[in-house]
Amino acid sequence: DSGVTQTPKHLITATGQRVTLRCSPRSGDLSVYWYQQSLDQGLQFLIQYYNGEERAKGNILERFSAQQFPDLHSELNLSSLELGDSALYFCASSARDRISGNTIYFGEGSWLTVV
Amino acid sequence: SQQGEEDPQALSIQEGENATMNCSYKTSINNLQWYRQNSGRGLVHLILIRSNEREKHSGRLRVTLDTSKKSSSLLITASRAADTASYFCATDAWGTSGSRLTFGEGTQLTVNP
């Protein structure tokens, strides 16, 4: 158990809909990262928050947004869903704002299926 | 495109044999990490090697790093059926705003009992 909690574990929704994925980082970790894993794109970094502020942005679509709340949990919002958004979405956390030399811990992921 | 590229994409061995997976990357890095993922599960951190290190051991794992060739290898000795998983290398690069790990496409290891 990494200590990173993600909900829901599985989600099936229709195209055009909007979903919210939730992540609770490990106790004491201030950074939260979101990754998307799909068969054709592999593991893609989406976005990082540190202590409530956006710190780095990767290949995140404009239809997607995220935030980190004062209690440090984070949400990833996916809207106007398309079939190609079906993927495993991971949240990870680390203590500091830079990975360098630090381990980041991954949750078990949220499986999103868009039908 | 992925920073790291693993080779081979798939590896099938017998229990007790050693498994070697390779990773190549394109840019200068701070560190390189190896992760393991059981099918459909989260990624588990295995080992981190810094850019000024050449070799590191952890239990049955041995990681090497050759920054001149921009490559790393992960050796699992005396493999077990429970080692069956996908293995990913991930790099943390210089000059990246914010902080991120860039993952390779992974090697699917199957250890047959």
Please report which confidence band the pLDDT of residue B39 belongs to, taking 50, 70 and 90 as the band edges.
confident
Is pLDDT at B85 greater than 70 in this prediction? yes
Give the pLDDT confidence score for residue B1 in this predicted structure: 35
Give the pLDDT confidence score for residue B11 in this predicted structure: 94
Contact assessment for residue A36 and residue A111, using Cβ atoms and an 8 Å cutoff: no
Please report which confidence band the pLDDT of residue A101 belongs to, taking 50, 70 and 90 as the band edges.
low
Which tokens go with A33? Answer: 């990262």
Interface of chain B toward chain A, CB-CB under 8 angstroms: 2, 30-31, 33, 35, 40-45, 48, 50, 88, 92, 96-106
Per-residue pLDDT reduced to its tens digit, A69-91: 999 999 999 999 999 999 999 99
CA B54/CA B52 separation, integer angstroms? 7
Share of chain B above pLDDT 70, in %: 90
Give the pLDDT confidence score for residue B2 in this predicted structure: 41
Which tokens go with B36? Answer: 């393991």
Nearest residue of A to residue B33 by CA position? A103
H or E segment and range at residue B32 = strand B29-37
Nearest CA of chain B to the CA of A75: how many Å?
18
Is pLDDT at A68 greater than 90 in this prediction? yes
* Optimal mutation site among B28, B35, B41, B43, interface A, most CBs of chain A within 10 A: B43
Average pLDDT over residues B5-29: 91
Average pLDDT over residues B60-89: 96
Is pLDDT at A37 greater than 80 in this prediction? yes
Bridge partners (DSSP) listed for residue A11: A112
Measured in degrees and rounded to the nearest 5, phi and psi for residue A15 equal -60, 145
Is pLDDT at B97 greater than 90 in this prediction? no
Helix (H/G/I), strand (E/B), else coil: B103? strand
Please report which confidence band the pLDDT of residue B3 belongs to, taking 50, 70 and 90 as the band edges.
low
Is pLDDT at A23 greater than 50 in this prediction? yes
Nearest residue of A to residue B100 by CA position? A99
Give the pLDDT confidence score for residue B26 in this predicted structure: 87
Average pLDDT over residues B77-89: 96
Q: What is the mean pLDDT of chain A?
A: 92
Interface of chain A toward chain B, CB-CB under 8 angstroms: 2, 4, 31, 33, 35, 42-43, 45, 48, 50, 55-58, 88, 90, 92, 97-101, 103-109, 111
Helix (H/G/I), strand (E/B), else coil: B26? coil
